[in-house]
A and B are shown apart, each in its own frame.
Chain A
């Protein structure tokens, strides 16, 4: 269960003339939920976008399921089995909930059994099935963006700050949904600023700062070591309430 499904080896990424990632190395073990933590601007989103090929690695390699995907195009990377939920959710506001999901089902029609499972995770989607996604609330949009990533089985889910801007009750719903996804055997790389959510969900963790990985290990270890949290993430005791 612990072999690496995704491995970044010395990845450097430039955006224009800015050097954002400086030799990023980390792995995402198969069947685990790996948290990618760090302060704002640490390079977490850039790392996910580099894996997806939305920004090109200028140096280093991205290995997915034994295949070097560094030079593949974004659609090829998606077809290889990686689903991506961006920070802004990336839902298609003019399309209905159904159409958003249908688009993500590359095999053709929606699988009824899987859809039923998704409705179990996110009942709001069933209720608002025929509504334009743009008319959903922020939490519902986030549910839709995650549902879109899992509408067909994918080998790896890259999810960028799913709890950002959501009400506490919705965050708890989200955490429950991720637990269910973990139970289903999904491999997930989750970028998160909410340390409480990270503690509850993460199996392993990588912490970034200034475009570099500054810590790797088990989430449980980081969750127990407040000094390490303080040093790596600048967390105050409030985060542990």
Chain B
């Protein structure tokens, strides 16, 4: 076979690694150190922020893929967070002894069972939600917003019917209570565990997206779904799979968020929904890496502002979003779109 050399086109392209958004995270941390003053307080605040960021990432990562892949605005994503949190009661109530037991393995088991139950139920709920609520409104953004918000309200009322309208307190398993003390800095054990769990899930997602064919298809589908179909793959099946996985991840995030707050309320998903949308807009719609960095930034600014200027805490995230969008109108890591 002969060679048709394309030698005339051999200029070496420059590989662009976009470090700036990633460097924002340590830059934020370091900038906060002199403002906070006390290093031990800074460590405590930073660990708390990282834990919160990981939980937000878990809750938001599915939504950003769903938007990127099928252009669906799912304002009902909070449903899966709330349901995930409440489903943990199915495990926590009958296994209350395991929660109180001074046994690391029983404590870890009860947490893992909560996570497993939440992910199974919210994954199934996600499958039903996609079929009943999302599918009839593909390509219709306004209807998507209205129907998914409606779906979330209905789901919230279902939680009231099943578990009652009053907030339900839950306890952390014994092992995860208290704090690690390093010098003068106290880091809540549960927050450290949340950081580890979040990093593990991010690592797993990164591996799936970058090292498997399914991951390739998802990344390609986010960028150009029509071309993925033209290559012979059924994008709709892929989307349903991603929707289920995203719902299950939101359920996992819901469980962690519930233990973080130690109270269950039906509206907890809706409350965190705003934060999730800020994160996926900051990160760049459809970008998992952007979602990760965005989650950390949002959590860091919320925690530092909460300590330094509590009155600004409520608007700090909106301000962050405005500043980032002024800098990069399509988010930190814009995904090349169709």
Q: Could you list which residues of chain A lie within 8 angstroms of chain B, going by C-beta atoms?
A: 52, 54, 73-75, 78-79, 84, 86, 90, 92-95, 99, 102-104, 106, 117, 120-124, 127-128, 131-132, 134-137, 139-140, 143, 148, 167, 169-170, 173-174, 176-177, 179-180, 183-184
Contact of A54 among B223, B226, B336 (CB under 8 A): B226
- A124 and B10 CA atoms in complex are apart in Å by 6
Could you tell me if A84 and B9 are in contact, using CB atoms closer than 8 angstroms? no
Interface: B195 (CB within 8 A): no
- A131 and B12 CA atoms in complex are apart in Å by 10
Interface string of B1-44 (1 = CB under 8 A from A): 11111111111111110000000000000000000000000000
Can you list 18 contacts pairing A with B, beta carbon distance less than 8 Å?
Answer: A52-B230, A54-B226, A84-B230, A86-B227, A93-B223, A94-B336, A103-B216, A103-B228, A103-B231, A106-B231, A135-B15, A135-B16, A140-B6, A140-B13, A148-B231, A169-B8, A173-B5, A174-B4
Could you tell me if A127 and B10 are in contact, using CB atoms closer than 8 angstroms? yes
Q: Could you tell me the distance in whole angstroms from the C-beta of B227 to the nearest C-beta in chain A?
A: 4
What chain B residues lie within 8 Å of A78 (beta carbons)?
Answer: 229-232
Contacts A54-B230, A99-B216 hold; do A131 and B15 have CB atoms under 8 A apart?
yes
Q: Could you tell me the distance in whole angstroms from the C-beta of A118 to the nearest C-beta in chain B?
A: 10
8 closest cross-chain pairs (CB), A and B: A176-B4, A78-B232, A169-B8, A90-B227, A93-B336, A139-B9, A74-B229, A135-B13
CB interface residues, B 306-338, toward A, < 8 Å = 335-336
Interface size class, chain B = 35 or more
Q: Could you tell me the distance in whole angstroms from the C-beta of A94 to the nearest C-beta in chain B?
A: 6
Could you tell me if A167 and B15 are in contact, using CB atoms closer than 8 angstroms? no
Interface: B261 (CB within 8 A): no
Contact of A92 among B9, B16, B227 (CB under 8 A): B227
- A167 and B11 CA atoms in complex are apart in Å by 14
Interface: B121 (CB within 8 A): no
Contacts A90-B230, A135-B13 hold; do A121 and B4 have CB atoms under 8 A apart?
yes
What chain B residues lie within 8 Å of A137 (beta carbons)?
Answer: 9, 11, 13
Contacts A102-B216, A176-B4, A184-B1 hold; do A74 and B230 have CB atoms under 8 A apart?
yes
Could you tell me if A95 and B9 are in contact, using CB atoms closer than 8 angstroms? no
Interface: B234 (CB within 8 A): yes
Could you tell me if A123 and B219 are in contact, using CB atoms closer than 8 angstroms? no
What chain A residues lie within 8 Å of B235 (beta carbons)?
Answer: 75
What chain B residues lie within 8 Å of A180 (beta carbons)?
Answer: 1-2, 4
Could you tell me if B219 and A95 are in contact, using CB atoms closer than 8 angstroms? yes
Interface: B298 (CB within 8 A): no
Could you tell me if A92 and B13 are in contact, using CB atoms closer than 8 angstroms? no
What chain A residues lie within 8 Å of B228 (beta carbons)?
Answer: 103
Q: Could you tell me the distance in whole angstroms from the C-beta of B261 to the nearest C-beta in chain A?
A: 36
- A123 and B5 CA atoms in complex are apart in Å by 6
- A74 and B336 CA atoms in complex are apart in Å by 22
Could you tell me if B224 and A120 are in contact, using CB atoms closer than 8 angstroms? no
Could you tell me if B10 and A120 are in contact, using CB atoms closer than 8 angstroms? no
| Chain B residue at minimum C-beta to C-beta distance from A148 | B231
- A174 and B213 CA atoms in complex are apart in Å by 30
Interface: B108 (CB within 8 A): no
Q: Could you tell me the distance in whole angstroms from the C-beta of B119 to the nearest C-beta in chain A?
A: 28
- A117 and B3 CA atoms in complex are apart in Å by 8
